[in-house]
Amino acid sequence: MLKGRGCHITLNTRVPTGDRSADSKDSFYEELQQIFDHSPKYHILLTLFNAKLEKEYILKPTTGNESLHEDSNDNGVRVVNFTT
């Protein structure tokens, strides 16, 4: 954890990869949601995800313009659902 002026920054980089079971991914996202729900509002939480996100117009508010993929994989769908 890095401490800054008036806020804390937490880095969380352990994300299940595509070869993990759906149950494992579900558990991860449930735990991650609990972390976000119980973190003070002034914390900045940065999470890195392994995901393919397609270049779909509807995803641009979440993914931006820089996706390299034509299709989203399961992790991509989970990331979009979590972040929105």
Q: Based on the structure, what is the number of domains in the chain? A: 1
pLDDT of 23 reads 92
For the chain, count helices (H), then strands (E): 3, 3
C-alpha to C-alpha distance for 82 and 58, rounded to whole angstroms: 15
pLDDT of 11 reads 57
Structure tokens at 39: 């973190």
Confidence class of residue 13 from pLDDT cuts 50, 70 and 90? Answer: low
What is the extent of the structural domain holding 8?
2-83
C-alpha to C-alpha distance for 8 and 15, rounded to whole angstroms: 21
Q: Percent helix, strand and coil across the chain, each rounded to 5?
A: 40, 20, 40
Q: What is the pLDDT of residues 25-84, one digit of tens each?
A: 899 889 888 888 887 777 777 676 777 777 777 777 777 777 777 778 888 888 888 887
- Among residues 84, 83, 54, 58, which one has the least CA distance to residue 69? 54
